Amino acid sequence: MNTNHTTETAGTGPRQLDGPLLRPEQAAELLSVKTSWIYDAVRTGRRPCLRVGKHICFTRMMLENWLEDR
């Protein structure tokens, strides 16, 4: 069984994910904020996310990179 996860990126081909996908509740816990803040930050474009269908997801690396860039 292949446990590697990839995602297609426009123009660059498959890209390796850096870990499991986190739900908004898990991202909020890692950032010590309310889940509603996560949804609002994504909606207003202040917080990048991965979209899987109608769901929003994050990787730990995405959250860490975002914190470093602040």
Higher pLDDT, 24 or 4: 24
- pLDDT tens by residue, 5-32: 444 444 555 667 777 999 999 999 999 9
Give the start-to-end residue ranges of the domains of the chain. 19-69
Global pTM reads 0.70
pLDDT of 69: 82
Task: Specify the residue for token string 């069984």.
Answer: 1
Mean pLDDT of the 40-62 span: 93
Residues 6+ apart with CB under 8 A from 44: none
Alpha-carbon distances, residue 31 vs 2, 39, 47, 56 (angstroms)? 30, 13, 12, 16
| Assigned token pair, 70 | 């602040």
